[in-house]
Amino acid sequence: NAGVTQTPKFQVLKTGQSMTLQCAQDMNHEYMSWYRQDPGMGLRLIHYSVGAGITDQGEVPNGYNVSRSTTEDFPLRLLSAAPSQTSVYFCASVSSGLGKTFFGQGTRLTVV
Amino acid sequence: AQKVTQAQTEISVVEKEDVTLDCVYETRDTTYYLFWYKQPPSGELVFLIRRNSFDEQNEISGRYSWNFQKSTSSFNFTITASQVVDSAVYFCYKGNLIFGKGTKLSVKP
């Protein structure tokens, strides 16, 4: 049982490049989400999904796309990276019955 | 509006002191979960405690205890006899949405 797996752990991008942060969970959780963490700002919700085929925007969705084709995977796409997207990103999945939230290890992204 | 407020940005204590981290939340949900997470310098989020909005019973678990009061929308967290290893950023979190901005706790020997 791996829990929530996030890849990569570190990434450096040039402005304008695109990339996908991967998130996978093996607990059959319906609810998954992406957060970004910036100094002094705590963690802010980017996008979330309540099940396969259903996604919605969180507090800071601009510049990010998501899709949820399977229950297990919830990738986060940066179509054209900007320095303002330099941050630490966390993926989470939630067991609906118990409400327990599982977080990935985080991805430290730097856009230069 | 949904909001989680941690008014204490940084706290510094000396080892063995007790320390309470404050959390006040706003929500329109009738059922919700509240959490406390710890983020040590290594960066991962470590689950500490979870409370269902229907359960206002306060508990103690080792050196940790929490005080959930629905009437004042507060969910405070206390570390008894703090240790240097408790130094971290602590986040209050209303699942599945909102984190507080965190409280940085420094425990000095």
Ranges in chain A, pLDDT < 50: none
Q: Read out DSSP for B12-66?
A: EEETT--EEE--EEE---SS-EEEEEEE-TT---EEEEEEETT----EEETTEEE
For the stretch B20-55, pLDDT in tens is: 999 999 988 888 889 999 999 999 999 888 888 887
B47 touches chain A (CB under 8 A): yes
Higher pLDDT, B78 or B61: B78
- Sheet containing A64-66, strands listed edge to edge, beginning at the edge strand earlier in sequence: A4-7, A19-25, A76-78, A64-66
From the list B33, B91, B96, the residue facing A48 with the nearest CB is B96
The label of the residue with tokens 């408790």 reads B86
A61 touches chain B (CB under 8 A): no
Instruction: For residue B40, count other CB atoms closer than 10 A to its CB.
Output: 13
Cα distances (angstroms) measured from residue B54 to each of A18, A23, B30, B57, B97: 44, 32, 9, 9, 18
Instruction: Give me the mean pLDDT over the B48-69 stretch.
Output: 84
Phi-psi region of A30 (alpha: psi -120 to 50; beta: other; left: phi over 0): alpha
B34: nearest CA in chain A?
Answer: A99
A contact test, residue of B8, B47, B96 with most A CBs within 10 A: B96
